[in-house]
Structure 1
């Protein structure tokens, strides 16, 4: 029986990201997926700059830029396509050096993730491999696998298993975890269309607030367009699989474009849910991505949450396997990610409800209120700023209980030296960011611990970010472990060598 340190169930974006991050630390992984190759249908279509930053960390900065389009913001429309409110995003890169939002085609994203993974000899990816059972003991996990082409059965033993196997996760069932409902269930029609024609529409997300048929429109590529419409009771996707029936739904955006120039890529029914698993870990088995949580798509955070899971867990697991971190650090995974993902799901649920609830009365209220939303102080920034909440307190997020600080938030990927940004210098290690020139002894201690020292010069973006703090410990995933008003031995003592 083959033995590996980490076995990953599922080769979607979350599983591939986790495998790549672990490979960067030299951890051997086996990735098993029930499909032979990339699932061909587009699903996720949006991500923010925090997650764009993760893709850059994988080595995909330029490759992702080549397949994506900047997301220009949000526009609210009434049933007559009148603009009720608009929240535009500028064209300049955000605080992390990337567009605050990007649109893409998921099969293209998975293709570049797979090609990139081939650079690492420590990772094996097997398709047509369906995991049928997981059995844990004190020393590891036995994973039973069936070859879907030959029917041949076999087993693999792993020290740890990461379940990245989606909404119908066998991994989740194997650890006895259940999904807890957060109070949102709606049936929607999802439509992907290709055309060489330019529809001439504003290149942001269009939210149609129509009590008869709420909808969403966005351009996801040079020739790809996405629509989503709420289904009425009794309707199914089968009612809209031919263009003759589908066209009346999308004609408000396609205008006089001949039907013959529109190619249906996919018409599918999705039930949008807001759910979070009650536990994400059982001893050596972890849940990531849709196996752990499901979000309505209204703020484009479904795929983002899965990649954040991988980023949060991979460095901790690498440190445990490498013997530099105690296994107890793995307890911080759900503590940190669970609260964050709940906050994002609740925001998506709020947006979805605001867009679809109330029938005709809701429509009257939206028409009256929406055009004045830009007058509310801070609301435009809230609608367009891609920043997400800080992580909650844990053994790896040290912050005061009664006041806010830098701990738990992300260190900006600011330019530090010439055209080198923070992530280029940190390169997956702990970093000490400080506005204080450390003594020779402190410098030696930082170097001994395998951390990177980054001096925040006066007037620089990092100096402004530090604010009242004079030093911050930044984890390998970019989150701040702690911040202090002085560069103290205890500040440096929070650093752990992870690898990289």
Structure 2
């Protein structure tokens, strides 16, 4: 039986990201995907600059820029298309070097992820391979799968398995994990349209707060547009697959464009849910992406969470496999990511409820309150700032309980010299960011440990970041998260 260090179940964005990161560390992995090729229908359409930074880490900086569109933020509209509130995002390079929000077509993203993965000989992607069973023992995991083309049953042995197999995850079932309902369920119609016509709309996300039927609109590509509408009782997506029946819903945005110039490429029903797996790991098996969490789409964080999972786990797993990290540190994956995912789900629930709930009473409140929301301290930042909550305290996030700290937050991908940024210098290693000049002994010790040494020059973005966090030194993990921050370089025993 063939043996590999890592088997990844599912070749969606989370699985492809995990595979690429592992391959960059030289870890051999096999990705088993039940579909023959890329699933053709668009699903996720948005990501933030933190996740854009992950794509750049994969080597997709230019390729993703070519298929994506920075968006201007969020507009809240009433039933008469009047703007109640507008929250603008910065489309220029922010703290991570990328626009705060980008829109894209998921099949195009998966295509560039697959092409990029093919550069690494240690990663093998096998389509038409449907995993049917997982069996763990003390030394590894036996993965059973079926070749859907030939019908043959095969198996492979792995040291670790990453379950990136979506909401109906077999991997999750195999470790007896269950999804906990966090109290949000709505049925929505998701519509994707292609047209050469220019709709001439504001280039951001439109949230349509009609008490009769809430909706969302955004332009996701040069010719691609996305609408989402809440389904009424008794309605299904089949009621809107014909453009003649669909047009009354989208005509507020399409205006007088002839129906013949609007091509519906998908009209599907989705149930938006807020759910979190009660456990993300059983010994050698881990859950990532939709297998571990489901987020309502109102803040565009569903796919983002899966890529964050991969970024958090890959370097730890690579370190365990090459013997530089103890196996016990793999426990930090669930500790850190589960808390973060829950916080983002709660935020998505809050935003979704505020924009869609309450019927006519809710509509009256929104019309009265929304135009004044920019006056509420911190609310504009909540709606537009892409910075997400810090990670929970763990053995790899050393955070004092009662003192402000940078630990658990991402280090900015700041410009250091010329065109080089923090990530270019750190290059997937631990990094020491310091505002004072290390001694020769300290430099030698940092170099011996293979860490990058980055000096935060006075007046620089990193220098200001350290000062804001009350620190002079930060130890930054390979995933860009601050492990610890303080006044002195850490001692190395």
TM class by shorter-chain length?
over 0.9
Structure 2 spans left out of the alignment, 5+ residues: none
State how far apart, in whole Å, the 2-side matches of 1:377 and 1:389 are.
18
- After TM superposition, the structure 1 = structure 2 runs for residues 35-184 of structure 1, keeping only pairs within 5 Å, are 35-184=35-184
The question of 1:237 aligning with 2:201 is answered: no
Which of structure 1's runs of 4+ aligned residues deviate more than 4 A? Answer: none
Once the 2 structures are TM-superposed, how far is the Cα of residue 92 of structure 1 from its aligned partner?
A: 1.7
CA distance in 1, matches of 2:45, 2:404: 33
Show the counterpart of 1:496: none
User: How far does the alpha carbon of each residue in 1:421-480 deviate from its partner, in whole angstroms, 9 at most, with x for none?
Assistant: 000000000000001111111111101111000000000000000012110000000000
**Could you tell me the TM-score, scaled by structure 1's length?**
0.98
* Alignment deviations for residues 327-358 of structure 1 (CA, whole Å, 9 cap, x no partner): 00100000000000000000000011111111
Matches of 1:420 and 1:208, distance apart in 2: 41
- What are the ranges of 5 or more consecutive residues in structure 1 without an aligned counterpart? 494-500
Conserved 8 A contact 1:436-1:487: no
Q: Deviations over 1:369-421 (max 9, x none)?
A: 00111111222122111000000100000010112210000000000111100
The number of residue pairs the alignment matches comes to 491
The aligned residue for residue 281 of structure 2 is 281
Q: How does 1:331-370 map to 2 (within 5 A)?
A: 331-370=331-370
- Whether the aligned pair in 1 keeps the contact of 2:103 and 2:220 (CA below 8 Å) is yes
Contact 1:72–1:91 (Cα < 8 Å) also in 2: yes
Could you give the per-residue CA deviations for residues 48-76 of structure 1, whole angstroms, max 9, x where no partner exists? 00000000000000000000000110000
Contact 1:35 1:127 in 2 (8 A): yes
1:195 equivalent in structure 2: 195
* Partner Cα separation in structure 2 for residue 312 and residue 238 of structure 1: 40
Root-mean-square deviation over aligned CA pairs = 0.7
Taking the TM superposition and a 5 Å limit, the aligned residue runs for 1:369-380 are 369-380=369-380
Match of 1:462, SS state, is helix
Q: Which residue of 2 aligns with 1:12?
A: 12
* Alpha carbons 2:140, 2:284 under 8 Å: kept: yes
Q: Which residue of 2 aligns with 1:481?
A: 483
Counterparts of 1:90 and 1:100 in 2: how far apart (Å)? 6
> Deviations for 1:74-132, whole angstroms, at most 9, x for unmatched residues?
00000010100001123321111100000000000000000000110000000000000
Question: Helix, strand or coil for the counterpart of 1:150?
Answer: coil
Q: For the residues of structure 1 that align with 2:38 and 2:490, how far apart are their CA atoms? A: 49
Match of 1:324 in 2: 324
TM-score (norm 2): 0.99
- Looking at structure 2, the residues matched to 378 and 43 of structure 1 have their Cα atoms a distance apart, in angstroms, of 31
Distance 1:91-1:154 versus aligned 2 partners, 3 A rule: closer
- The aligned counterpart of 2:471 is 469
C-alpha distance in structure 2 between counterparts of 1:14 and 1:265, whole Å: 24
For the 8 Å contact 2:432–2:452, the answer to whether it is kept is yes
Q: Distance in 2 between matches of 1:384 and 1:171?
A: 35
Secondary structure class of the residue paired with 1:35:
coil
Kept after mapping to 1: 8 A contact 2:91/2:101? no
